[in-house]
Amino acid sequence: MALLSMHGVSKRFGAVTALQGVDFTLEAGEVHALVGENGAGKSTLMKILAGVQPPDEGHMQLGGDDVRFSSVQEAQARGVVMVYQELALVPTLSVAENLFLGRLPRFVDYGALRTRARTLLAQVDLHLDPDTEVARLSIGERQLVEIARALAREGRVLILDEPTAALASTETDRLFEIITRVKASGVSVVYISHRLEEVFRIADRVTVLRDGALVGTRTVADTNAEQVIEMMVGSSVHRYERPARVRERVVGTFEVTERDLRPVRITLHAGEIVGLAGVIGSGRERVLPCAFGLRGSARWNDAAIGSPRDAIKAGIVLVPSDRKTQGLVVGLSVEANLSLATLGRLQRFGFMRAGAVRAQSRHWIERLSLRPPDPDKAVWELSGGNQQKVVIAKALATEPEVLLLDEPTRGVDVGARAELYDVIDDLSSRGLALLLSSSDTEELLGLSDRILVFREGRVTAELQPPYDYEEVVAHVTGAHQLA
Ligand SMILES: Nc1ncnc2c1ncn2[C@@H]1O[C@H](COP(=O)(O)OP(=O)(O)OP(=O)(O)O)[C@@H](O)[C@H]1O
Ligand SMILES: [Mg+2]
């Protein structure tokens, strides 16, 4: 009998069905990979198992008993521990304090604590001073501290949610050694990853989710990357598709580089959308912040871009991935947000010209079909898709030649997504050049005139339409390496 089984698990978040009747089993001492495209429901399923959130429907059995966890502590008490995608250490505390967080006795013997911490850290091959503040560790080291913390809780089930996204390849090797060791001691590991090469290296079985539903579970030895990709992608792909374009005038050439990104050159043509594909950690996610002068180093037509100010002067503007913290002041109205972007132009002797401000907001509301079409509405009252339109409008108000779009539809529902695609298509047909960085494969295929695939800090493929969906996924996940 399986150590753990989940049956008919469903979970909704408002209008979004995150999981629908999913079954999942875990054997003692196995490494079970959980894969699927972004938003497939992987983290949600495992958060239910780890007691972070309850399911709407379904039941679980662990070691033969029916269980229902209403808190993380309850799950931990039964030996289920999870290392989250978004790391959960407290940066201002020491490594030792983090290891025993929430479990310190009233009178702490710091000497004993340090000794115990050293033993735990040694289990993950981490030889650092337990008094080190977590803020000073690399992401890879933090990941290992989290795993040590999970081991400290004597877990029987260890859930790792995309543990290698931020790791260098030597750190990944180390993690795999630890997983092998943990497994040998009888612990079961759930391994969520977007990298199929890793899945085939480390896992015994693999389960595929798609759009919140279970597609199937396979023994790794009896399947191959091609089959798994087919399961991830499905046969009925309905997607937005842009008509083919003719390349015209060259707008310019970017050269960007950063610590974990080899130098890349990208030449953009007027009206062209160049898609950037790659999992988090591939270097793909670094290109746009570099190109906008936020980090690394960038040149545009041989002139250095050292800051966002340089970029905007050169006609380059970024629509950031995190609109809540970087793009918008959500407490202010649509109009106030739009006028922040163009203060200089709409000001006269220090006073905002009210007429000009209103005219500008009307223009953008209409051009991007903002709903409701009300300039006085506070941004937080709008849906995610409409908030994103305001961010794009802000960017466009600076009249750029190049628009950098970073995950433009993250957290946006399906209907609003289609509208944003129309907006993006419309912008390109007016001659704007776009760089589109996205973890959504469908989105990249639907919008891009060509796609650059990033892996391990460099461009490993350039793909042209008509695209083969499975081929793109094979490049992104590193699966074509296995063939
Ligand atoms: N707390 C939440 N509130 C609202 N929607 C949520 C919440 N958590 C998840 N979702 C939605 O549920 C769906 C599944 O999300 P989940 O995070 O489980 O996907 P995932 O497979 O882990 O994706 P990724 O590979 O991007 O991490 C998505 O549509 C997501 O937007
Ligand atoms: Mg996830």
Give the CATH number of the domain where residue 273 resides: 3.40.50.300
| Boundary-marking domain end, from 184, 202, 233 | 233
The closest ligand to the CA of 195 turns out to be 1
In a domain, 334, yes or no: yes
In a domain, 245, yes or no: no
| Boundary-marking domain end, from 203, 233, 263 | 233
Atom of ligand 1 nearest to the CA of 212: 14
Supply the pLDDT for residue 262. 95
Do 260 and 223 belong together in one domain?
no
In a domain, 27, yes or no: yes
Residue 72 CA, ligand 1 centroid: distance in Å: 19
| Boundary-marking domain end, from 171, 204, 233 | 233
In a domain, 270, yes or no: yes
Supply the pLDDT for residue 159. 95
Q: Ligand 1 atom 13: the closest Cα is on which residue? A: 18
Supply the pLDDT for residue 70. 92
Q: Which domain holds residue 450?
A: 250-481
In a domain, 244, yes or no: no
Ligand 1 touching residue 26 (CB < 6 A): no
Q: For the whole model, what pTM was predicted?
A: 0.77
Do 87 and 162 belong together in one domain?
yes
Do 184 and 295 belong together in one domain?
no
Do 154 and 207 belong together in one domain?
yes
Q: Which two tokens stand for residue 128?
A: 């650092």
Ligand 1 touching residue 286 (CB < 6 A): no
Do 268 and 135 belong together in one domain?
no
Query: Any bridge partners for residue 452, and if so which?
Result: 276, 462
Ligand 1 touching residue 18 (CB < 6 A): yes
- Whole-Å CA distances, 176 to 121, 138, 160: 16, 18, 12
Do 184 and 254 belong together in one domain?
no
Do 388 and 285 belong together in one domain?
yes
In a domain, 238, yes or no: no
Supply the pLDDT for residue 234. 82
Each of the 483 residues of the chain gets a pLDDT tens digit; together they read 899 999 999 999 887 889 999 999 999 999 999 999 888 999 999 999 999 999 999 999 999 999 999 999 999 999 999 988 767 788 888 898 888 877 766 667 778 888 989 998 988 888 889 999 988 887 778 888 888 888 887 789 999 998 877 777 777 888 899 899 989 989 999 999 988 989 999 999 999 999 899 999 999 999 999 999 999 988 655 566 777 777 779 999 999 999 889 999 999 999 999 999 998 889 999 999 999 999 999 999 999 999 999 999 999 999 988 776 667 888 889 998 888 876 555 555 555 567 778 888 898 898 888 888 999 999 888 877 888 889 888 888 888 999 999 999 887 776 778 888 988 998 998 899 999 999 888 899 999 999 999 999 999 999 999 898 899 999 999 887 776
Residue 483 CA, ligand 1 centroid: distance in Å: 31
Residue 13 CA, ligand 1 centroid: distance in Å: 9
Rounded CA Rg of the chain: 24
Q: Ligand 1 atom 6: the closest Cα is on which residue? A: 13
User: Pick from 25, 23, 21: which is nearest to 63 by CA?
Assistant: 25
Supply the pLDDT for residue 303. 96
Cα 158 from Cα 8, distance rounded (Å): 22
Number of domain units in the chain: 2
Supply the pLDDT for residue 344. 55
Ligand 1 touching residue 36 (CB < 6 A): yes
Supply the pLDDT for residue 340. 80
Residue 213 CA, ligand 1 centroid: distance in Å: 13
Q: Ligand 1 atom 27: the closest Cα is on which residue? A: 38
Do 374 and 291 belong together in one domain?
yes
How many Cα atoms are found within 13 Å in the side-chain-facing hemisphere of 31? 24
Cα 299 from Cα 112, distance rounded (Å): 54
Residue 290 CA, ligand 1 centroid: distance in Å: 28
Do 189 and 286 belong together in one domain?
no
In a domain, 241, yes or no: no
Atom of ligand 1 nearest to the CA of 37: 25
Do 169 and 217 belong together in one domain?
yes
Do 172 and 320 belong together in one domain?
no
Residue 85 CA, ligand 2 centroid: distance in Å: 7
Do 291 and 147 belong together in one domain?
no
SS3 for the chain is: CCCEEEEEEEEEECCEEEEEEEEEEECCCCEEEEECCCCCCHHHHHHHHCCCCCCCEEEEEECCEEECCCCHHHHHHCCEEEECCCCCCCCCCEHHHHHCCCCCCCCCCHHHHHHHHHHHHHHCCCCCCCCCEHHHCCHHHHHHHHHHHHHHCCCCEEEEECCCCCCCHHHHHHHHHHHHHHHHCCCEEEEECCCHHHHHHHCCEEEEEECCEEEEEEEHHHCCHHHHHHHHHCCCCCCCCCCCCCCCCEEEEEEEEECCEEEEEEEEECCCEEEEECCCCCCHHHHHHHHCCCCCEEEECCEEECCHHHHHHCCEEEECCCHHHHHCCCCCEHHHHHHHHCHHHHEECCEECHHHHHHHHHHHHHHCCCCCCCCCCEHHHCCHHHHHHHHHHHHHCCCCCEEEEECCCCCCCHHHHHHHHHHHHHHHHCCCEEEEECCCHHHHHHHCCEEEEEECCEEEEEECCCCCHHHHHHHHHCHHHCC
In a domain, 243, yes or no: no
Q: Which two tokens stand for residue 314?
A: 């050169």
